[in-house]
Structure 1
Amino acid sequence: MSTDALIRRYYDAFNAADAAGLLDCLTEDVLHDVNQGETRQGKAAFAEFLALMDRCYEERLENIVVMTEPTGRHAAATFTVHGRYRATAEGLPEARGQSYVLPAGAFFEIRGGRIARVATCYNLADWIAQVSA
């Protein structure tokens, strides 16, 4: 599978709320660099993150653009997050079902046909302003 196809499969699984399909795209020792947070390591930690996301947010990614480099070892994606904040996450504003639209992106490292590292980037101050309005 090409790197482009792998990243698209990852985001298709995200949009389908298919945690098992998303986790299948990852290496066992995946590194997950969370925007303005600590790095998580391993599929189990990523699965915990997905469970938290599922509890607190309802999100759909649109306008996904995937970019790869010739070796297929690195990729990036840009997209727009359309979401609803449905349960308060620790350290963040109170959830009241607020909607938000947020540009975001991610960087990937690929190993053995799977994602070995994903770093997600978005403007947290913009998100906080949207859900606090």
Structure 2
Amino acid sequence: MTRETGDLVLTAFNARDWDNVVARFAPDGLFYLGPCAPCQGHTAIRKLLDAFGAAYDIRIRHWSHIVDGNRLATQAGARITYKRTVEGLPEARGQTIDMPFATFLTLTDDRVSHFRVIFSPVQWRNAIA
């Protein structure tokens, strides 16, 4: 079920179906996004997704998984458009970047207990400067 869960999360993300994304997480699930502090629990994860959905248009264009038991590693690429200025970042002017990233997911009792997204903040900052 690990590969299928990864596909469901990424497909729901592309559809901006935050309810479906959050539903895949355990109630105390952790979501790590790059260098940011982790979000824990459905409410915090939903708040993060809402904030990112408001500032960025993110479309995951391709992905592939490697499965090991209840763990899933995914390499992927997304087209990201910066549509609303985020405090501490340069002004949003519709800058668009094709960005590679990786995710690492752990399932516990068929729910996502840990989800980590790794990307290059330097590449992102350079693209939107």
Structure 2 length-normalised TM: 0.96
* CA shift digits 1:97-121 (9 cap, x unpaired): 1111110011111111111110110
Q: Percent identity?
A: 23
Match of 1:78 in 2: 75
The answer on 1:7 being equivalent to 2:6 is yes
Match of 1:47 in 2: 46
Q: What pairs with 1:31-46 in structure 2 (closer than 5 Å)? A: 31-46=30-45
Match of 1:123 in 2: 120
**CA RMSD of superposed structures (Å):** 0.8
Match of 2:55 in 1: 56
Q: Alignment partner of 1:61: what SS? A: strand
Match of 1:102 in 2: 99
How far apart in 1 are the matches of 2:87 and 2:43?
20
How far does residue 87 in structure 1 lie from its aligned partner after superposition? 0.5
How far does residue 32 in structure 1 lie from its aligned partner after superposition? 1.1
Match of 1:28 in 2: 27
Runs (4+) of structure 1 exceeding 4 A deviation are none
Structure 1 length-normalised TM: 0.94
* CA shift digits 1:66-86 (9 cap, x unpaired): 1111x2x11111111101100
Unaligned stretches of 5+ residues in structure 2: none
